[in-house]
Amino acid sequence: MDTRMDAQQQQQALAIRQHLIDTQAGIERFLLTQPLLVPLQPSAIHPLQAVPRIVIRQMLSLKASNTIIARAEAKAAEQGVSGIADLSELDLISCGCSRAKAATITRFAESYYRYPDDIDNWQQLDCETLLKTITSHKGLGLWTASIVAMFHFAHEDLFPLGDSSLRKAVSLLGEHGVILVPERAAPYRTYLASYLWQLLDQARI
């Protein structure tokens, strides 16, 4: 058993993977090479802390984004502020953020401090409303909103078609005769996306 999961979670993870195998023709030989994905749980991290990290990660490699996040966290600790969101635009840029991302992060923080209840209420929203609410913030696009919904609030049925890595994975698997139809993976499309990202990270496709 995966030591990160109890017996119930293990059973759930197996059922999710089997659902993906049953609905995506030819994918079985790829998914069975992968460790089971731990069933999603809502994060205990506040959106004010989570969103800046997700914004920084957009369009960057994991290594590059981790470097910027580490610099920003160190800068926040040095200044005695609570997190990345409380840094100024200039500080964020000095840590390696683009001007656009720095502006998005500071605008989001300003919005939270003006209307905290609006963002504190995100956890109560259904997925469609959550996506619309997040993207109403200037600079937060559908990709960012989808990642927040998937991995911060544990919405299990999202497949961000605009993600370039997922498009690449669909194309590469197609060359191996795997016909991916994400709609058929409902209500577990988030796990399909996660397995595809995992396959790419491990250079299995």
Residue-by-residue DSSP string for 158-171: ---TT-HHHHHHHH
205 near 173, Cβ under 8 Å?
yes
Side-chain-side CA neighbours of residue 183 (13 Å): 0
The count of domains in the chain is 2
Query: Tokens standing for 201?
Result: 């990270």
pLDDT beneath 70, residues of the chain: 1-3
- Whether residues 144 and 55 share a domain: the answer is yes
Structure tokens belonging to residue 196: 């595809």
Using the 3D structure, point to which of 137, 152, 167 is the last residue of a domain. 152
Does residue 54 share a domain with residue 134?
yes
Give the burial string for 127-141 (b: 16+ CB within 10 Å, else e): beebbebbbebebbe
Domain co-membership, 185 together with 140: no
In a domain, 100, yes or no: yes
100 and 173 inside one domain: no
Distance CA 118, CA 39 (A): 28
In CATH, what number is assigned to the domain containing residue 73?
1.10.340.30
pLDDT the model gives residue 161: 85
- Do 56 and 138 lie in one domain? The reply is yes
Shared domain check, 55 and 124: yes
This prediction has a pTM of: 0.90
Residue 79 lies in a domain: yes
Residues 140 and 65 grouped into a single domain? yes
Range of the domain at 102: 47-152
39 DSSP assignment: P
* Rounded distance between C-alpha atoms, residue 119 and residue 6, angstroms: 32
Residue 195, judged by CB atoms within 10 A of its CB (0-12, 13-18, 19+), counts as buried
Residue 110 and residue 125: Cα distance in Å, rounded?
21
Contact 162, 131 (CB under 8 A): no
